[in-house]
Amino acid sequence: MKIRNLVKISTDTAQTIWRHLDDMNGMSAKRSDVLARIHSVVDQVADLGGAANLPGPSQQAYAWLKFLSNPAHFEAHVSALRLARAVFQERAPEPPISQFILEMTNLRAIYRFRQRGGRGVLKVSEALVYADRAVWEALFDSLFLGKSDARSALLNDYFRSEACQAVQKAMRVDAVSTDSPRANGQVHDLDASFERVNTRYFSGQMEKPRLHWNRRKTFVKFGHYRPDQDEIMFSLSLDAEDVSQELIDFVMYHELLHKQLGAEHKGGRRYSHTPAFRQAEQAFENFALVKQELEDLATRRRQESEQRNNTDKRRWIRTGRRKKRR
Ligand SMILES: [Zn+2]
C-alpha cells in the first residue's frame, strides 16, 4: 500500500461498509476483511513515523480510519448507518434514487449530497455516529424537503452535544498529527510559540492553523504558509539549540501575517511581501535584531551544509563509492 492512497482507501472503506451493511455482523468474512484493512493502514502509517507529514487530505482520511479501528466505534458506525438507512427508506424522494450510497466519513460539513443520473452519493460527517432517529429525520428532511428552523435547530443541538464534539475532535487533523514527534520539535514547541504570538500580536484572535515541522532541513526558506491547507510548515533546521525562542516566534509571526493579509494579485503574479506586509512585520519586538539573527542563522546553515557536502565528496573520493544523496 502506498501512503498516498489513503483518501481512496477511506472512500472505498466507507462505501464497502454501506454496500455490505447486512454483512457487518459478528464473524462475517466481509467484516473481518474491512477491519483487517483498516488496522493494516493504521499500523503502516504508525510505522512510517505517524501522520504529521502527510498531506492534509490524507491526514483527514487517516484520522477517520484510526477512529474506526476502535471496535466500539466500528460497531457504532455500523449501527448508525443501519438507522440512517431505515430513515432514508421511509423518506426517499420521488422519483426514487435507484443507486443511493451513504458514506459516513471525515467531513467538515454535516452532509453533502451529489446526484448524477440515478446515482446519489450522500456524504455525512462521522460525528453523526451517535445521532438518534430524530436527528437523521431532520437531516433527510432538510435534504429532500428543504431546511427549516426546527430541523436546523435539531441538528445544531446534536452537534453541540458532548458525544458529538468528542467525535469531531477525533476527526481533526491535529488530533492525529501530534501522534508523531515531528509535530513537536526536539527543542521548540510550535503550539507554545503560536500561543505566545497570538496573544501578543493578534489579541488572541487568530485562528490556529496546522503547525508542522517539515521533514527537510531547508535553510533558504525557514517557514511557509499554505492557505489551501491552512498550514504553516517550519524547516527542521530551526529546531535546534542555536535557535532562540524569539526567532521561532518571529518566523511564526511572519507566517501568521501571511495568513492574515493574504496575497495581492497583479498582472497574473502573486505578491505576498507587499509594502503593507513589510510594515506589519516591523511590529515584532526587536524587529531589527531578530531579523539579523535570522540572517546570521541562514549564513550558518549554508556553511554547515557546504561543509557536509565537502565531507561527502572527500568520502566519495576515498572509498570510490558513490554515495546516494537524499
Ligand atoms: Zn514570507
CATH number for 284: 3.30.2010.10
- pLDDT grade for 220, boundaries at 50, 70 and 90: low
158 and 263 share one domain? no
Tell me the CA distances in angstroms from 301 to 109, 215, 221, 225, one per residue in order. Answer: 44, 16, 11, 21
Q: Give me the residue label for grid cell 539573527.
A: 293
- Parallel, antiparallel or unpaired: strands 231-234 and 210-213: parallel
Statement to judge: residues 12 and 132 lie in one domain: yes
- The answer to the question of residue 184 being in a domain is no
**C-alpha cell of residue 21:** 451493511
At 171, which amino acid appears?
M
**Residue 149 within any structural domain of the chain:** yes
Same domain, 166 and 45: yes
Q: Quick check: 133 pLDDT over 80?
A: yes
Q: How far apart are the first and last CA of the chain?
A: 23
Reported as a pLDDT band with limits 50, 70 and 90, residue 46 is confident
Range in 65-69, 94-98, 136-140, 307-311 with the lowest mean pLDDT: 307-311
Centroid of ligand 1 to alpha carbon of 225 (angstroms) = 8
Give the residue from 174, 188, 173, 197 showing the smallest Cα distance to 236. 188
Q: What local confidence, expressed as pLDDT, does residue 177 receive?
A: 63
Same domain as 274, residue 206: yes
92: phi then psi, degrees, rounded to nearest 5: -55, 140
126 and 275 assigned to the same domain: no
**Least confident range of 35-49, 64-78, 83-97, 192-206:** 35-49
Tell me the CA–centroid distance for residue 273 and ligand 1, in Å.
6
The whole-number pLDDT of residue 178 equals: 55
Give the residue with greater pLDDT, 266 vs 200: 200
Same domain, 127 and 12: yes
Which of 177, 211, 244 is the endpoint of a domain? 177
Q: Which residue, of 154, 177, 200, is where some domain finishes?
A: 177
Distance 254 CA to ligand 1 centre (A): 6
Whether the pLDDT of residue 94 is over 70: the answer is yes
Q: Ligand 1 centre and the CA of 203: distance in Å?
A: 21
Domain count, the chain: 2
How far does residue 256's CA lie from ligand 1's centre (Å)? 9
- Distances from the Cα of 138 to the Cαs of 106, 110, 113, 120, 247, in angstroms? 20, 12, 15, 19, 51
- C-alpha 184 to ligand 1 mean position (Å): 22
Q: State the distance from the centre of ligand 1 to the C-alpha of 19, rounded, in angstroms.
A: 48
- Assess if residue 317 is contained within a domain: no
pLDDT at 216: 62
Task: Check whether residue 135 and residue 228 sit in a common domain.
Answer: no
CA of 146 to the centre of ligand 1 (A): 45
Say how many Å lie between the CA of residue 7 and the centre of ligand 1. 30
d(CA 121, CA 304): 54
Instruction: Indicate whether 86 pLDDT > 80.
Output: yes
Q: Which residues are bridge partners to 233 per DSSP?
A: 212, 224
pTM (two decimals): 0.56
Q: How far is the CA of 226 from the centre of ligand 1 (A)?
A: 11
Residue ending a domain, choose from 177, 201, 218? 177
Q: Are residues 205 and 157 in the same domain?
A: no
Ligand 1: centre distance to CA 123 (Å): 37
- Output the pLDDT for position 8: 93
pLDDT at 319: 43
Bigger pLDDT: 315 or 210? Answer: 210
- Report yes or no on 182 lying in a domain: no
pLDDT reading at 246 higher than 90: yes
Q: How far is the CA of 293 from the centre of ligand 1 (A)?
A: 16
**Averaged pLDDT, 288-316:** 80
pLDDT for res 26: 79
Residues 26, 147, single domain; the answer is yes
CA 218 – ligand 1 centroid, Å = 14
Least confident piece of the model among 26-35, 165-174, 289-298, 311-320: 311-320
Task: Let me know whether 140 and 242 are in one domain.
Answer: no
More confident residue, 214 or 131: 131
Residue 320 has pLDDT above 70, yes or no: no
> In this structure, are 173 and 210 located in the same domain?
no
- 324 located within any domain: no
Residues 6+ apart with CB under 8 A from 49: 180, 182
In whole numbers, what is the pLDDT of the chain averaged over residues?
A: 86
Evaluate whether residue 183 is within a structural domain: no
- 126 and 55 fall within a common domain: yes
**Residue 87, pLDDT above cutoff 90:** yes
Would residue 320 count as lying in a domain? no
CA 53 / ligand 1 centre spacing (Å): 21
Distance 152 CA to ligand 1 centre (A): 41
Answer yes or no: is 75 within a domain.
yes
| CA 232 / ligand 1 centre spacing (Å) | 11
pLDDT, tens digit, for every residue of 148-204? Answer: 999 999 999 999 999 899 898 888 877 676 544 445 677 888 988 999 999 999 999
Average of per-residue pLDDT across 200-223: 83
The whole domain housing 70 covers 3-177
Centroid of ligand 1 to alpha carbon of 199 (angstroms): 21
